[in-house]
Amino acid sequence: MSAVTLIVTAAGRAALVNAAAAGTNAVTIAQAGLTSLAFTAAPGMTGLPGEFRRITAVAGAAVDADTIHLVIRDDSEASYDLSGFGLYLADGTLFALYGQADPILEKSPQSTALIAVDVRFADITAASLEFSGDGFLNPPATTTVAGVVELATNEEASAGADAIRAVTPAGLKAAIDARFGVNAASAFVRTLLDRANQAAFRLALSIRSAALKDEGAGNGLDADLLDGLQTHNVPAAQAGGSWPSIPIINNAGATDIGRHLDFHAAANNPGDFAVRLGLDAFGRLTINGALIWTINNDGAGSGLDADLLDGQDSAFYTNIPARLGYTPWHAGNDGSGSGLDADLLDGFDASFFANIPALASRQ
């Protein structure tokens, strides 16, 4: 049966106190009284209600801090129903008693009553009790006492709350599988479990010096930050809002200020930049406020017409006399001394050079 809770009488508790005062550590249980009367035990009782038999064959032993295993043996030819019992000290003091409504057992004349009970005390140390009788004991197993044990089911082993039942190898595997996964740990994980220290563990995982750093603000390891700043305001800025100055490269670097990217020659200063790369109101790329020429912003009025000369289209120069009102060069102003003789070489007509040998002999 499961452990029952005995009620220790006031006289039994006084006996424990007196034993401690006398320098002893235990009192001796010498006899057991039997009763067929259903009753409710109370500390003030000095005798067992309806007691019909006194047994001296009482053996017991402490199996846990608050539990004793008790065996009462009656091999007489008596016949009775047992509903309760009491434990008596050697001097006849009723130490403790227990009763219940239903019979604990029924004994016939041909049988031997062997009452094996695990008794739990609420506030008494089990080691404070000794037994004068010798007999057969079949105690429950504990961490210090060999005895009877019940095997835990796989569910009980996995729950890990039962402190009484024993775990089988199958139950142990079920508990490990429930906690770590079926057939865990893997062969790879088992190679990590015997590593002597953190350094060896990191080496086995090919983790280098970054594993020794603490992630967090100011440690330079915030993967969700841009140079230590949150980027949750970006959608508002993209919608046309004003972006704050956010340094993305320290010192000789750049500062993202929304529509501009400032490159600094020295220490970061949002108001002091060497080159500003940005967008104008039309989304066109600028450098220091000036448009950068692309095929998308070429055209009249853009100021970026690479096919213009002094801001004028080539058609402007197709009829220069008409635009000037006169012909700058014509036959009337051509000739020696005009400086407009395009057919002369060094002031000489081409015929002058027709007979080079004759010219040489004149030298």
Q: Which range has the worst mean pLDDT, 156-165, 247-256, 296-305?
A: 247-256
| Whole-prediction pTM | 0.41
Q: Specify the pLDDT at position 129.
A: 72
Above 50 in pLDDT, residue 255?
no
Residue 243 pLDDT greater than 80, yes or no: no
Terminal alpha carbon distance of the chain: 151
Which whole-number Å values give the CA distances from 112 to 19, 23, 33, 36, in the listed order?
35, 39, 16, 17
**Segment 118-127 mean pLDDT:** 71
pLDDT greater than 70 at residue 341: no
Q: Which residues lie closer than 8 Å to 240 by C-beta, 6 or more apart?
A: none
Residue 238 has pLDDT above 90, yes or no: no
Average pLDDT of the residues in 268-290: 72
pLDDT value, residue 251: 35
| Domain extents in the chain | 4-131, 327-363
Output the pLDDT for position 214. Answer: 61
Rounded to the nearest integer, the mean pLDDT of the chain is: 74
Q: Is residue 349 scored above 80 in pLDDT?
A: no
Tell me the mean pLDDT in the region 302-307: 63
Res 256: pLDDT: 44
Highest averaged pLDDT of the listed ranges 204-218, 228-242, 279-293: 279-293
pLDDT band with cut points at 50, 70 and 90 for residue 219: low
Predicted pLDDT of residue 236: 42
Mean pLDDT of 288-312: 69
For residue 133, the model assigns a pLDDT of 61
pLDDT value, residue 47:
94
| pLDDT of amino acid 240 | 46
| Type of residue numbered 252 | A
What average pLDDT score do residues 75-104 get?
92
pLDDT in tens, 156-179: 888 888 877 888 888 888 888 887
Least-confidence region, from 27-31, 92-96, 325-329, 338-342: 338-342
Q: Which comes out higher in pLDDT, residue 346 or 100?
A: 100
Residue 291: predicted pLDDT: 76
Contact 41, 98 (CB under 8 A): yes
Residues comprising the chain, all counted: 363
Cα–Cα nearest to 157, from 172, 143, 169: 172
Instruction: Give residue 80's pLDDT.
Output: 94
Measure the CA–CA gap between 210 and 214, rounded to whole angstroms: 9
Taking 90 as the threshold, does the pLDDT of residue 35 lie above it? yes
Would you say residue 81 has pLDDT above 80?
yes
Share of the chain above pLDDT 70, in %: 64
